[in-house]
Amino acid sequence: MADFQTISKLNPHVSVDCVIFGFDNNDLKVLLIEQFPSTNSVSDRGSMALPGNLIKEDEDLDDAAKRVLKELTNLSDLYLEQFATFGNPNRLSKPEDRRWLEATREIPEARVITVAYYSLVRLERYSPTPSGFAKNATWVNINEVGNLAFDHNIILEKALSILKKDLHKIPAGFELMPEKFTLSHLQRLYEIILNTELDKRNFRRKIIKSGIIKPLKEKQEGVNHKPARFFRFNKKYQEAPDFI
Amino acid sequence: MADFQTISKLNPHVSVDCVIFGFDNNDLKVLLIEQFPSTNSVSDRGSMALPGNLIKEDEDLDDAAKRVLKELTNLSDLYLEQFATFGNPNRLSKPEDRRWLEATREIPEARVITVAYYSLVRLERYSPTPSGFAKNATWVNINEVGNLAFDHNIILEKALSILKKDLHKIPAGFELMPEKFTLSHLQRLYEIILNTELDKRNFRRKIIKSGIIKPLKEKQEGVNHKPARFFRFNKKYQEAPDFI
DNA sequence: TTTCTTTGTGTAAATTTTACAATAAGTTTG
DNA sequence: CAAACTTATTGTAAAATTTACACAAAGAAA
């Protein structure tokens, strides 16, 4: 058992954490789990956290991220992009985190290095349901995220800044918009994620010129204003061009 | 000892690898080590590899990268940027790599996940000298890199593509150019790293307008052509603007 | 029919990008 | 000493892109 200790210290554990951003036409949200509390008192609230867990023996990192996300939230079939690795030796040292680790992990004192992934999805397409050590799994508005477990606030911030920077090269539209959509709807996507306002005329000119979308004959129905034309993405584009 | 095995398998080891690019006015090079061969035969050549090694207990990743680089090549005082983590379960499975690990590591069968860092420096400022398990530490032209140990060719490729993408935001000039330099000299830096030709007039206009550099009174001496004016970087800029 | 709401559209000015070639200042050579 | 050589230095016109900005149109609701 002395060996056990020594080795567990020498070898850090490795985990993956997933930052899943969800766009719901009006807000940018992030998928968080509530961990089961480490005490037995019924009234206790567990910490909110990004879905994440230790990787398995001989498991590829990308596979681990998919598996962990599925095990905790039942989400699958989404593309996860690795964006950073966090290994501060004190990243698990908050008292409440320590308690949770002691109640949950086989070797709670082990250091954990985590490889972080992110994704951006259309919220309606994915309905998380909690499982494993997740008591809840919910979409939380990006502006209403409170204190998260471990260093997850730091991880989330970094993910958000990378999302903004790389938005233009995410094959975003394909996943994030319904089959048919209006230009205002698409503009809202960009405005919400980038957290800025864009000029309507300039946005339209630019995106139409890019060729990424195609106008349809159809228009909106049953709206109390001039109905907007629907568009769809041009299938031949795999990547969004640099249009914002 | 059974425990020992089990745990070493469950807990992957974690290493850092450093991709140090060196600019020497005419070429882009990368710092490689030759590992001591795993056999005792004097004639054997060790594999070429990026400098890298396991992290220590309770050592921060960034600190580990600095330490490992120093231990193997005696380079210090350079900024290392983390860019990706590689964890393919088979990344150490080539026979020659296995032999080296068995001759070198305490737990050679352990899986290793590596966090990769890169940097870009002016080559003349750094004179690597090998130590630790490095038999040699040398600058190798980026076009003359052969087969490297482990998955280091993959790591190098990724580092190079990220270097090109992020060149514009590296406080490059400050580190990469001598105190005084000519515009042609600076242009060469960009051309070599980006591996393209740039228009002289356009390059000059753009970089002068950016304000990042200041002309000096001094000119070249002893060259067999019209002497060029020297410039220096404007200290108030910490970051290169988007000028290429 | 009036009001309300969102759609849809054009243009001029400013800025940036791109392509392109001749003269200047020295050194070397004959 | 003149000619040849080498690299430095400079400008401009055309094209493309960006930016700022306002009003008429289509339908639903009142």
Residues 6+ positions from B142 with CB-CB distance below 8 Å: B21, B27, B28, B29, B30, B160
Would residue A125 count as lying in a domain? yes
pLDDT for the residue A3: 42
What H or E segment, with its residue span, contains residue B64? helix B61-73
Q: Is the pLDDT of residue B156 over 90?
A: yes
Nucleic acid strand C within 7 Å of B217 CB: no
Residue B145 within a domain: yes
Domain membership flag for residue A187? yes
pLDDT higher at B88 or B39: B88
Nearest amino-acid residue to D5, taking CA and C1' = B225
User: Which has the minimum average pLDDT: A3-7, A87-91, B182-186?
Assistant: A3-7
Give yes or no: residues B137 and B48 share one domain: yes
- Nearest Cβ partner of B11 from A1, A11, A58? A11
B224 touches strand C (CB under 7 A): yes
Q: Per-residue pLDDT averaged across A99-128, rounded?
A: 94
**Weakest mean pLDDT among A89-98, B34-43, B44-53, B203-212:** B34-43
B243 falls within a domain: no
Contacts of A85 in chain B (CB under 8 A): 61, 82, 85, 115
Chain-chain contact of A9 with B57 (C-beta, under 8 angstroms)? yes
Domain termination site, one of A135, A168, A201: A168
Closest-CA distance of chain A to residue B13, Å: 6
How much is the pLDDT for A138? 97
Identify the CATH number of the domain in which residue B56 sits.
3.90.79.10
Asked if the model's pLDDT at residue B9 lies above 70, the reply is no
Confidence of residue B237 (pLDDT cuts 50, 70, 90): low
From the list B203, B3, B120, B111, the residue with the least C-alpha distance to A59 is: B111
Q: B156 and B185 share a domain?
A: no
Beta carbon of A200 within 7 Å of strand C?
Answer: yes
- Return the pLDDT at B8: 44
What kind and span of H or E run contains A122?
strand A112-122
The predicted model scores a pTM of 0.90
Alpha helices for A91-199 (secondary structure H): 95-104, 152-166, 172-176, 183-194
Q: Is pLDDT above 80 for A122?
A: yes
How many angstroms away from the CA of B25 is the closest CA of chain A? 31
How far, in Å, is the CA of B177 from the C1' of nucleotide C20?
29
Contact B27, B142 (CB under 8 A): yes
Does at least one atom of strand D sit less than 7 Å from the CB of B201? yes
- The mean pLDDT value for B144-150 works out to 97
Position B10 in a domain: yes
B163 & B189 share domain:
no
Residue-level pLDDT at B133: 96
Encoding tokens for residue B36?
């001591």
Pairwise CB contact (< 8 Å): B57 & A111: yes
Please tell me if residue B112 touches chain A, with a CB cutoff of 8 Å.
no
- The pLDDT value given to residue B144: 97
A121: pLDDT strictly greater than 70:
yes
Cross-chain Cβ contact B57/A3 below 8 Å: no
Full domain range(s) for residue B84: 2-168
Residues B159 and B188 in one domain: no
Distance from CA of A103 to the nearest CA of B (A): 19
Task: Examine the domain organization and report whether A218 and A125 are in the same domain.
Answer: no
- Compute the nearest-CA separation of B89 from chain A (Å): 5
What's the CATH code of the domain at A198? Answer: 1.10.10.10
Say yes or no: A14 and A84 in one domain: yes
Domain match, A119 and A202 both: no
Q: Which residues of A touch B110 (CB under 8 A)?
A: 11
The pLDDT assigned to B116 comes to 98
Average pLDDT, chain A: 89
A242 touches chain B (CB under 8 A): no
Residue B242 touches partner A, C-beta closer than 8 Å: no
In a domain, B238, yes or no: no
CA of B53 to C1' of D17 (A): 49
For residue B10, name the pLDDT band (cuts at 50, 70, 90).
low
The single-letter DSSP state of residue A107 is S
- In the predicted model, is pLDDT for residue A8 greater than 60? no
Strand D contacts (CB < 7 A) among A residues 175-234?
A: 199-202, 205-206, 219, 222-227
- How does residue B73 score in pLDDT terms, banded at 50, 70 and 90? very high
Taking the C-alpha atoms of residue A71 and residue A90, their distance in angstroms, rounded to an integer, is: 26
Examine the pLDDT at B99 and tell me if it is beyond 60: yes
| Mean of pLDDT values over B155-163 | 96
The predicted-structure confidence for A207-230, as pLDDT tens digits, reads as follows: 999 888 999 999 999 899 999 999
Residue at A211 is within a domain: yes
Protein-contacted positions of strand D (CB under 7 Å): 5-12, 18-22, 25-29
CB of A45 under 7 A from strand D? no
| End position of a domain, from candidates B117, B138, B168 | B168
Token duo for residue A15: 């985990």
Q: Which of these ranges, A120-134, B108-122, B156-170, has the smallest mean pLDDT?
A: B156-170
When CB atoms are compared, the residue of A3, A12, A85 closest to B4 is A3
Give residue B172's pLDDT band: very low, low, confident or very high (50, 70, 90).
Answer: low
Do A121 and A202 belong to one domain?
A: no
- For residues B186 and B201, give the distance between their C-alpha atoms in angstroms, rounded to a whole number: 13
CB spacing of B87 vs A11 below 8 angstroms? no
**For chain A, what is the domain count?**
2
Indicate which of B8, B17, B85, B162 best probes the interface with A, i.e. most A CBs within 10 Å of its own CB.
B85
**Mean pLDDT computed over A179-206:** 94
Phi, psi of B177 (to 5 degrees): -110, 155
Which of A133, A149, A168 is the endpoint of a domain? A168
Band of pLDDT at residue B6, cut at 50, 70 and 90: very low
The number of helices, as runs of H, and strands, as runs of E, in chain B is 7, 9
Mean pLDDT of B85-90: 97
Q: Tell me: the pLDDT tens digits for A18-64? A: 999 999 888 999 999 999 987 765 557 889 999 999 999 999 999 99
> A185 CA to D16 C1', in Å?
28
Q: Do B190 and B158 reside in the same domain of the chain?
A: no
Give me the pLDDT at residue B5, please: 40
Are A61 and A82 contacting, i.e. CB atoms less than 8 angstroms apart?
yes
Closest residue to B3, CB basis, from A4, A10, A115:
A4
Residues B14 and B100 in one domain: yes
**B196 shares a domain with B122:** no
Distance between the alpha carbon (CA) of A228 and the C1' atom of C5, Å: 12
Three-state secondary structure call for residue B54:
strand
CB contact under 8 A, B14 and A10: no
The answer to the question of residue B244 being in a domain is no
Say whether both A87 and A193 belong to one domain.
Answer: no
